[in-house]
Amino acid sequence: MKKDISNHYFEEAKHIFPGGVNSPVRAFKAVGGNPIFIKNAKGSHLYDVDGNTYIDYVMSWGPMILGHAPEQVLEQVNQAIWQGTSFGAPSLREVSLGKLLKERLPYLEKMRMVNSGTEATMSAIRLARGVTKRSKIIKFVGCYHGHSDSFLVQAGSGVASFGIADSAGVIEQVASETIALPYNDVKALEETFLKQGDDIACVIVEAVAGNMGLIPGDSSFIKAIENLCKEHQALFIVDEVMTGFRAHYQGAVGLYDLDPDLVCLGKVIGGGFPVAAFGGKAIYMDQIAPLGPIYQAGTLSGNPIAMTAGYETLKELTADIFQSIAQKTSFLCQGIKEAADRHGIDLQVVCQGTMFGFFFAKDPVRHFEAAKASDHKLFAQLHGLLLEEGIYLAPSQYESNFLSSQHSQEDLEKTIAAFDRVFQMIKG
């Protein structure tokens, strides 16, 4: 596989962007080597500047559930562009997407559109603090909720890949208001509420964690969060930026049959454009300006082009299409696991809806400490060898992978065969 042109662009990019990238995990630090520069994408494939082709399982970190450049979405986006790219005023397009989201996710009584998952989660905890008049929040070690200060305490995802427990620039006064507890640990949660329940504004959780590798929460753990929040009048916030329309057709909320106070959405609801949202019970959402005293705003929120992409994506994403993608994901994961077993490799393969991940570990991984203990060197070796085979996976052990409606049976069989060859090489 040639990477000469990608390497040239990366050297040039390092003089322009910190580390040569505009988001840290893209730099391939966790797996070694230089990133590839993408020229274009279509369906289930990426095409780089050196002429290499890859079956893509990153799918822009989740949004491209209909595949890259879906014609039905692009046709409508193209029409919308010629009607104006930004108004800074209400439009019917944002109403259409909002109505469709409410139809698919009835617990979204009201919502506010924003531009990124970080903006959604940041706004949700501000709302929780404003509603409860309390300052402390609970998050879970290894869960990543974006890069706002309150969340960069024992975070997963790119922060974990770089070994940063607490980012520089996050002041102690902010960090001290965040309580980080072990994931899937009901006892630690109960003890914390017993001691500090009157000070806790909210608990925010990835009910299916996707940023320390893919780790679904135990049902008893997720339900304990919901019940303790109700008991102590703290807001229960489910971060569905990644898992919305991915872990289940109705997200993790539907998977676990939850009654959240607030939910944060992103990725899929923008169809590849920068869109996110936070919403939930109207009694809380109505306390946001202009109705209430809790301020939140955004110049490009509800951008008509992004709203169009999100609407068209969700319109096409029926329950039947979702189920077909989930079946493909299960088939792929079973094939990868069987290949690992054939070569005597200890591999934990995790599949949830249209998401998948794996750990080089003997036992199932249920929390961040176990994810850290998995064999990261072996993961990095696997990633590099699969890239040579034309398989593009997330370049970090702490990230999830995704399928789309455009992944074909041939794609899946080629991928399983590539894993089999690579496992054979690893075993020597």
Could you tell me which of 92, 139, 97 has the C-alpha nearest to residue 279? 97
Which one of 267, 281, 328, 372 is the catalytic residue?
Answer: 267
Annotated catalytic residue 375: no
Active site residue 144: yes
Is 257 catalytic? The answer is no
Nearest in space to 243 (alpha carbons), one of 258, 255, 225, 229: 255
* List 48, 56, 185, 239, catalytic entry: 239
Point out the catalytic residue in the list 107, 144, 183, 284. Answer: 144
Alpha carbon distance 357, 350 (integer Å): 5
Amino acid (one-letter) located at 1: M
Q: Which residues are catalytic?
A: 144, 239, 267
